[in-house]
Amino acid sequence: MNLREFYERVTEGMALKELWGQFKTEAESSYKLYSEDVDWASLQKIPRWKRFFKVSWILFKAMLFHLTPARRLLLLISLLLFIGGVGQVPNNRPTLAFWGGLGFLLLLALELADRVIMKRDLQIAREIQQWLVPEAPPALEGLDIAFATRPANTVGGDFYDVILEAGNGEEKKVLLVMADVAGKSVPAALLMATFQASLRALVATNPSLEELAVRLNKSVCERSLGGRRFTTAFLAEISLETRLLHYINAGHNYPMLKRQDGTLMKLSGGGLPFGIQSSSEYQIEAVQLESSDFLLIFTDGVVEAVNRSGEEFEDGRLVSLVERAPHGSAEESLNVFRKAVDEFVGGARQHDDMTWMVVQVS
């Protein structure tokens, strides 16, 4: 392997601008983590020349206490050796600074090993999570469906599903589900998995939409830690014969239904998020779908996406996109939405899971 090939492998072919953007994003995220416990208000009372040292000491302690006790000691010893060796003249033997640097490298290797193991485990968890949601939408006469999800971390708490079912009288229906567990990463992913298991088990009993919502709520309440881990959800049942849509919105972002004449409806009726109150009741709403109607269902990570200036994408921008949505396939419309959010966010770090589902009525 020559030097150019080694460089390409190290950088994964990314340009310097992309590498710098990635470094800035990761540095900002790390700074945010380590500065969580800083009392910025009290620091304003300290003279400016002292403030730098005070902040540096607080951040150093934050980094130190994120390590295990053994690694804390290794870091302190390495730091003392490195400082003690500054200016030391080599005399045919390693200086204290050399041993300090070696200690830093050992600490880096230990932390990197932990990260590799964790990343491997999270990747397995991600693969399992992907098995819990449909890989591709079913082929349905009169309905074109597309969906996509992007977790903020390796795994996330968003969930979606498209389930073909037979209602009373063997009427063919399709159940659309989107849910968002409060929180992110592993805790939210575990609760999402239990939600999926409960949903599939309940759907097998062929309940009404209202009964499904009530029973899902009771199931989520058992694991919501007193309402702290609640789940917002949107459940919609569409008759493939009449195109009548019944839905329940359990505290979820309002899906947007664009009519053929350009008018926009927000599907808001329903009740509280699942997991807050076990005795909650849910109101079913109905909408008659017509040819060329367009439905967008999404999670809050879409409208709360933030760019580098700290500005949110917000509901208004999404409304504008839906109003200007092209009359193409569901997949084409979905790609337009995703591209618009990506361009708005730029190189900012994604802070919440994003999930979209588009339903195009033909």
Q: What secondary structure does DSSP assign to 83-136, as a single string? A: HHHTTPPP-SS--HHHHHHHHHHHHHHHHHHHHHHHHHHHHHHHHHHHHTS-SS
How large is the average pLDDT for residues 124-151?
A: 86
How large is the average pLDDT for residues 215-241?
A: 89
Please list, in sequence order, all residues whose beta carbon lies within 8 angstroms of the beta carbon of residue 2, skipping any fewer than 6 positions away: none
How large is the average pLDDT for residues 325-345?
A: 89
Q: Is the pLDDT of residue 358 over 60?
A: yes
Q: Is the pLDDT of residue 168 over 70?
A: no
How large is the average pLDDT for residues 162-185?
A: 82
Q: Can you tell me whether residue 29 is helix, strand or coil?
A: helix
* Distance between CA atoms of residues 180 and 356, nearest Å: 12
pLDDT at position 163: 92
Q: Is the pLDDT of residue 147 over 80?
A: yes
**146 close to 358: Cβ distance less than 8 angstroms:** yes
Lowest mean pLDDT among 87-96, 130-139, 156-165, 252-261: 87-96
* Distance between CA atoms of residues 160 and 354, nearest Å: 11
Q: Is the pLDDT of residue 216 over 70?
A: yes
Sheet holding 294-298, edge to edge: 143-150, 354-361, 294-298, 256-258, 264-266
| The residue count for the chain | 362
pLDDT at position 34: 78
When comparing pLDDT for 73 and 170, which is higher? Answer: 73
Q: Is the pLDDT of residue 170 over 70?
A: no
> Between the CA of residue 22 and those of 25, 120, 220, 279, 346, what are the distances in Å?
5, 21, 37, 47, 11
CA torsion sign for 11, 16, 21, 27 is positive
When comparing pLDDT for 166 and 146, which is higher? Answer: 146
Domain ranges within the chain, ordered by starting residue: 15-35+42-86+94-128, 132-361
**155 close to 125: Cβ distance less than 8 angstroms:** yes
> Between the CA of residue 7 and those of 13, 24, 33, 109, what are the distances in Å?
8, 20, 30, 21
Spell out the long-range contacts of 49-54 with Cβ–Cβ below 8 A and sequence spacing 24 or more. none
Q: Is the pLDDT of residue 166 over 70?
A: no
* Distance between CA atoms of residues 244 and 287, nearest Å: 6
Q: Is the pLDDT of residue 184 over 90?
A: no
Q: Is the pLDDT of residue 346 over 90?
A: no
The rounded mean pLDDT for the chain is: 87
Beta bridge partners of 236: 176, 247
Q: Is the pLDDT of residue 133 over 90?
A: no
**The domain 132-361 is classified under which CATH number: 3.40.50.1000, 3.60.40.10, 3.30.70.270, 3.40.220.10?**
3.60.40.10
Q: Is the pLDDT of residue 169 over 80?
A: no
What are 35's two structure tokens? 């500065």
Please list, in sequence order, all residues whose beta carbon lies within 8 angstroms of the beta carbon of residue 196, skipping any fewer than 6 positions away: 132, 133, 159, 161
**129 close to 192: Cβ distance less than 8 angstroms:** yes
- Within 13 A of 338's CA, how many CA atoms are on the CB side? 17
| % of the chain surpassing 90 pLDDT | 45
pLDDT at position 274: 95
Confidence of residue 1 (pLDDT cuts 50, 70, 90): low
How large is the average pLDDT for residues 61-66?
A: 86
Lowest mean pLDDT among 168-172, 223-227, 235-239: 168-172
> Between the CA of residue 101 and those of 14, 70, 105, 260, what are the distances in Å?
29, 17, 6, 67
The whole model's pTM is what?
A: 0.77
Closest CA to 350 of 180, 154, 123: 154
Closest CA to 81 of 57, 50, 103, 52: 103
